[in-house]
Amino acid sequence: MATATVPARNEIPVEHTWDLANIFPTPADWEAKLANVKARLPEIRQYQGRLGEGPDALAGWLETYQDLMRDTHRVVMYAALDYSTDTNNQAAAARAAQGTSLASAVQAAVSFAEPEMMGLGFATLRAWLADSPRLAIYAHYIDNLERMSAHVRSAEVEELLGQVEDPFRTAANTHGILTNSEIPFAPATSEDGVEQFEVTHGSLGALLSSPDRTVRRTAWESYADGHLAYKNTMANALAAGVKQDVFRARARRYDSSLEAALTPPNIPTAVFHNLIATFRKNLPTWHRYWRLRRKVLGVETLHEYDIKAPLASHIDVPYRQAVDWICEGMAPLGEEYVSILRRGALDERWVDIYPNKGKRLGAFSYGGPGTHPFIMMSYNDDVFSLSTLAHELGHSLHSYFSWRTQPMIYGRYTLFAAEVASNFNQALVRDYLLRTNPDRDFQIAVIEEAMSNFHRYFFIMPTLARFELELHERVERGQPLTSSAMIELMADLFAEGYGDDLVMDRERTGITWAEFSTHMYSNFYVYQYATGISGANALAAGVLAGADGAVERYLEFLHAGGALYPLDALQRAGVDLSAPEPVDAAFAVLADYVTRLEGLLL
């Protein structure tokens, strides 16, 4: 029996891996910078009690703080990236652990500063801003500090909250280790039983898109069963993570974990609730899509492993072809944007391209000031991978322009803004592909990818957000969290989304929460995928229609980084995500894709 396997990390050609030497040339250089940052921490304490000496003293602290955070970020980033591509590498795992410990120590060391600044009074701080050119750039930072002042505790409490961050990562790290390096997944098998296919995080997407229904079913079952085997451990870890969120919220005097998550980026909680209500209202669009799939596939019952079953012939898209098409799709943003994207994707090794054993689940873009962006993915030579690459390059160019334009203190933007930039790229590239290639199978493949992306962002993520809200509210009410309760809740929520048009496997569907080991440990993270795709499609529509100033406003949004609150930055770009209308409009885009598929397939 033949078996398709995933290569080991050392079998991947170096030109297909990212270039971590852009951060530190060698692990020894990383060790030196780690030691350097540790050695500087006692010096940081010398600023404590001195920030009120005047504008120059405060400016000196803020400049020192940014330098320290830049170096700390590079140390953490190098270790995290190295570990992400081979979670079986124990030396990389050790560096990653050292990096997170350092971040916690730095957070504790600088914790005195914001309470001390608040103690000076905001009238004093604003007078200093007006009088000192060195402080002028910190106006938004001070405004945000005043807005958050009710939730900043004393220096002693802030130091303690900083110190707990390292041990608080244990639950998420435990879940991640299980998921990324210790769960044994049974191989998927072909319908004729001749072939077996190794199931990994990197290979799963391609297996679920196989025309062989047995391959899809056995891959989906293997992935779910692998997580179910550890359901109690993972549920205990997630329960700890939720309790930690509740602890942080109460320690900072918020009324709920949801408020604690949405207040720092200045997002009203109504945005979250509007999204969920609009999602539930539009579920009939998904039910219509399930019916179409069942009819076209010719199956008596549609199952979850049929959601990505191909509806037309496979379209082969090698990596370089994908880069070319992405560049052509992004041409409306101008030559500079396209040239930076092409150089990063092909010449500067921003991208760790292909699957390998031990590679972490999913795809992401990461980096920081002083480095280029880094993209991790598992490219599978298909339209789905092309779109993932476009998505991550959207993040990367957003970061590139933010770092180039903003000081360190504003170089990092919120996820609420980030998911707009990534989905914007996908929207433009899909439009280009559909306009320029009339081949029926190609059109179907592109729309299928769009539906798959909307499925993740506009079906899975809002469902996970509902799940997350209920878990936090149960803990806030003092109720227990168990694996069986989590599985039942997850299955109930998906049942509403699937309606009567898809036959569920409740136990395997119910373990979906365990398959998102990163997302579920970031307090109310996932809802922003749905708001992001809504904002992206609204802004893309303006650019594609040639609306006056649409391109310029969008590029200004990319350059703004964290210098504006995300809702404000997006309103300047042309979309108001405080209202439900962009979410409804995105569902209209989704419905149009279903209509186009019906025209092509029925």
| C-alpha to C-alpha distance for 558 and 161, rounded to whole angstroms | 32
Q: Which of 423, 475, 429 is nearest to 454 (CA)?
A: 423
Q: Strands across the sheet with 2-4, in order? A: 2-4, 195-197, 188-189
**pLDDT greater than 70 at residue 1:** no
Q: Is the pLDDT of residue 415 over 50?
A: yes
All structural domains of the chain with their residue ranges: 9-166
| In contact, 503 and 552? CB cutoff 8 Å | no
* CA atoms lying within 13 Å on the CB side of residue 390: 31
Q: What angle do helix axes 383-405 and 440-455 make, rounded to 10 degrees?
A: 60
How confident is the model at residue 280, as a pLDDT? 97
The structure tokens listed for 426 are 């996908």
Stated pTM of the model: 0.90
Of the two residues 206 and 256, the one the predictor is more confident about is 256
Q: pLDDT band for 480, please (50, 70, 90 cuts).
A: very high
Q: Residue 2: beta bridge partners?
A: 195
Mean pLDDT rounded to a whole number for the chain = 94
pLDDT-based confidence at residue 4 (cuts at 50, 70, 90): low
Q: Residue 2 has what pLDDT?
A: 45
518 vs 360: CA distance, rounded Å: 10
Can you give 306-334 as a three-state secondary structure string? HCCCCCCCCCCCCHHHHHHHHHHHCHHHC
Q: Across-strand partners of 374?
A: 366
Q: How far apart are CA 576 and CA 292, in angstroms?
A: 33
Instruction: Over range 449-468, report the average pLDDT.
Output: 96
Q: Helix, strand or coil for residue 564?
A: coil
Q: How many CB atoms lie within 10 A of CB 325?
A: 20
Q: What is the mean pLDDT of residues 24-46?
A: 95
pLDDT at 564 over 90: yes
Told to judge if 328 belongs to the known catalytic residues of this protein, a careful annotator would answer no
In this model, does residue 524 exceed pLDDT 90?
A: yes
Which of the residues 304, 392, 419, 468 is marked catalytic? 392
What is the percent of the chain with per-residue pLDDT over 90, rounded to a whole number?
A: 88
Q: Name which of 14-28, 281-295, 510-524, 588-602 the model is least confident about.
A: 510-524
| Alpha-carbon distance values, 161 to 111, 167, 232, 393 (Å) | 9, 11, 28, 35
96: left (phi over 0), alpha (psi -120 to 50) or beta: alpha
Q: Which is the CATH superfamily of the domain at 9-166?
A: Oligopeptidase f, N-terminal domain (1.20.140.70)
Q: What's residue 519's pLDDT? A: 87
Residue 20's contacts (CB-CB under 8 Å, 6 or more residues apart) are 78, 81, 82, 374
pLDDT at 205 over 90: no
- Res 104 pLDDT > 50: yes
CA-based nearest residue to 490, from 475, 476, 473, 504: 504
Over its C-alpha atoms, the chain yields an Rg (Å, rounded) of 24
Q: What is the pLDDT of residues 250-260, one digit of tens each?
A: 999 999 999 99
Which amino acid is located at 21 in the chain?
Answer: A
Judged against a pLDDT cut of 70, whether residue 300 lies above it is answered with: yes
Does pLDDT of 158 surpass 90? no
pLDDT digits (tens, 9 = 90+) for 159-199: 888 888 888 989 999 998 898 889 999 999 999 988 999 99
Tokens of 476: 């806030």
